[in-house]
Amino acid sequence: MPAEGVDLTPSHELLSTKEIVHLARLFVSQGVNKIRLTGGEPTRVMESIDQAIALGLRPLKINCVVVRGVNDQEVIDFIEMTPSGKIRIGREAFDLIQANLMKKGDVFTVSQIAGINAAKQTGYLIPLCHSLLLSHVSVDLKLEQDHSIEIIAKVECEGRTGVEMEALTAVSIAALTVFDMCKSVSKDMVIENIKLLEKTGGKSGTWKSKEIK
């Protein structure tokens, strides 16, 4: 409660229930396991977190006050994108990869590294994409029974812009790397079905492909 003689904040200036729930979900998605609703003076949200991390505080306890029109824009959405793609490589290349006998080396490891590096360099590869500070990038490859490789990338960032292009670039470059490492065996490979599977966070909220609903 405010001190005696201090007026209560008008209702229209308070965060709505929907906004509070959204805010709580953002913190919970990043591992926060205790949230207490209270009041007080507004704090600089991200500045406080940065200072605590710089001091090496583990675990980190954060007390934040979010006030509409004062510091609510400092609360950053955590955005996650999951795209996929496939490259059909044929029986011979499939068997060599499975036995890790491809002349150029470990196809999966090299392609994973290429995809991760590509996601980080998307702003330089695509003219109208801004460079983003990504908090997580992973690329997974899996041999399928139809002599193809399924590629799934997961990209996360802390910000209000999407990372669709970074995630799709990771899948695309991983697939091209597979092609490069296997082209001595077969040039009849096909890269296909590069698409977004799932998106969470950001202004537009959660989106899922019909394939995984």
**What are the residue numbers of the active site?**
180
Q: Which of 109, 110, 126, 108 is nearest to 167 (CA)?
A: 126
Packing angle of the helix pair 164-182, 91-98 (nearest 10 deg) = 100
Please give the helix or strand (H or E) that residue 157 lies within, else none: strand 148-158
What are φ and ψ of residue 152, in 5° steps?
-125, 130
What is the DSSP secondary structure assignment for residue 197, as one 8-state letter? E
User: Is 74 in contact with 46 (CB distance < 8 Å)?
Assistant: yes
Distance in angstroms (rounded) separating the CA atoms of residues 123 and 96:
35
Q: Would strands 207-208 and 190-200 be described as parallel, antiparallel, or unpaired?
A: antiparallel
Extended strands (E) in 159-201 = 190-200
Asked if 133 and 157 count as a contact pair (C-beta separation under 8 A), the reply is yes
